[in-house]
Amino acid sequence: ETGVTQTPRHLVMGMTNKKSLKCEQHLGHNAMYWYKQSAKKPLELMFVYNFKEQTENNSVPSRFSPECPNSSHLFLHLHTLQPEDSALYLCASSPWAGGGDNEQFFGPGTRLTVL
Amino acid sequence: KQEVTQIPAALSVPEGENLVLNCSFTDSAIYNLQWFRQDPGKGLTSLLLIQSSQREQTSGRLNASLDKSSGRSTLYIAASQPGDSATYLCAVSGSGGSNYKLTFGKGTLLTVNP
């Protein structure tokens, strides 16, 4: 266990559905991240939150909407997704983002399938 | 733009063998380098983190080296076991205020046969 949990672990949704992914970290960290892992491609950083403020949006389509209500919780709201959005979505946390100790700890991921 | 390459893409070895996984990166201005392990359909487990000022790190049967100037790192696994079977990912972080940005390679899929 890394101290980062994600729910649900598996999600199947239609293109018109609205769903949310949840991430929670119990490490006392102040930075949280969303990554996308597609088959045959390297992990791609999607969003970064540092002390609840979004500091990075890596040109992610607006059908993905992140939310960080506090330093321990991170959500990814999904709406009108496409089949090519099917992937493993990983959450990570680190002490903070921007200097010093940047070691990231990853959750188990949510396997998303868009039909 | 930083690019990370891992060679080989897949490796199959008999149990007990020592092996080396390779990672190369195009921009030597990194803050640190991490090696991760990923089991099928699972998240990432951090194995070793090497700061840019360091040359190597060791943990048990694992030893990672870093040659920052040449843009290369190796992960050495001694006396491999079937439980070592997984995908091994290398990631480098940007320098300065961007050290939270990790650039990953595609990974090496390791299979250790009993």
> Which percentage of chain A shows pLDDT scores above 70?
97
CA B28 to chain CA mean position, Å: 16
**Is residue A83 helix, strand or coil?**
helix
Inter-chain Cβ pairs, chain A and chain B, closer than 8 A: 61
pLDDT of residue A99: 66
How many residues are present in chain A?
Answer: 115
Chain A interface mutation, best of B3, B44, B89, B104, highest count of A Cβ atoms under 10 Å? B44
Q: Say if residue A11's pLDDT is above 80.
A: yes
pLDDT of residue B101: 87
Q: How far is Cα A33 from Cα A55, in angstroms, rounded to an integer?
A: 10
Cβ of residue A10 closer than 8 Å to a chain B Cβ: no
Average pLDDT over residues A80-87: 94
Q: How far is Cα B31 from Cα B44, in angstroms, rounded to an integer?
A: 20
pLDDT of residue B44: 92
Question: In sequence order, what are the beta bridge partners of A94?
Answer: A31
Judged by CB atoms closer than 8 Å, whether chains meet at B102 and A40 is answered as no
pLDDT of residue A96: 83
Q: How far is Cα B76 from Cα A30, in angstroms, rounded to an integer?
A: 33
**Is residue A58 helix, strand or coil?**
coil
Q: Say if residue B42's pLDDT is above 90.
A: no
Cβ of residue B52 closer than 8 Å to a chain A Cβ: no
Locate the chain A residue with the closest alpha carbon to B49: A103
pLDDT of residue A100: 66
Q: What is the pLDDT of residues B44-102, one digit of tens each?
A: 999 999 999 999 999 999 999 999 999 999 999 999 999 999 999 999 998 777 778 89
| Three-state secondary structure of chain B | CCCEEEECCEEEEECCCCEEEEEEECCCCEEEEEEEEECCCCCEEEEEEEECCCCEEEECCEEEEEECCCCEEEEEECCCCHHHCEEEEEEEEECHHHCCCEEECCCEEEEEEC
Q: How far is B97 from chain A (nearest CA, A)?
A: 5
Judged by CB atoms closer than 8 Å, whether chains meet at A45 and B44 is answered as no
Q: b vs e for B50-75, b when ≥16 Cβ sit within 10 Å of the residue's Cβ?
A: bebeeeebeeeebbbbbebeebbbbb
From chain A, the residues in CB contact with B64 under 8 A are none
Q: What is the pLDDT of residues A22-55, one digit of tens each?
A: 999 999 999 999 999 998 889 999 999 999 999 9
pLDDT of residue B58: 96
pLDDT of residue B113: 97
Tell me the HSE value of B84 on the side-chain side, using a 13 A CA sphere: 28
pLDDT of residue B54: 93
Q: Which residues contact A21 (CB under 8 A, 6 or more apart)?
A: A6, A7, A8, A11, A75, A76, A78, A89, A91, A110, A112
Q: Which of A7-21, A35-49, A94-108, B25-39 has the lowest mean pLDDT?
A: A94-108
Place of tokens 């050290």: B99
